[in-house]
Amino acid sequence: MKATIVPIGNSKGIRIPRAVLEQCHFTNEVDLEIKGETLILKSIHKKPRQGWDEAFKMMHLICEDNPLVDDTLDLNIKEWQW
């Protein structure tokens, strides 16, 4: 498919047909990758908490998974206030 580069303010861009946007599942953001003289656009599929499992495992390996709050605190004590 051939596309024309058009001015957009001080930049330039291309118009992507709606059918292509839908087929590639492009929404408001895309991932741009450059390989040599080739520009690659990829859809961003972010899932909530994606990658957390690997991050937690890495934190454990480098001993940075200690709780920030003492989890042995007795919340039923009379002096405790929320």
Let me know if residue 74 belongs to a domain: no
Q: Torsion angle, CA of 21/2/42/34, rounded to 10 degrees?
A: -160
Let me know if residue 69 belongs to a domain: no
Let me know if residue 36 belongs to a domain: yes
Provide the domain count of the chain: 1
| Structure confidence by residue, pLDDT tens digits, 33-67 | 999 999 999 988 777 788 889 999 999 999 888 87
As a whole number of angstroms, the distance between CA 81 and CA 67 comes to 21
Let me know if residue 35 belongs to a domain: yes
pTM as predicted:
0.49
Domain range enclosing 33: 5-61
Let me know if residue 11 belongs to a domain: yes
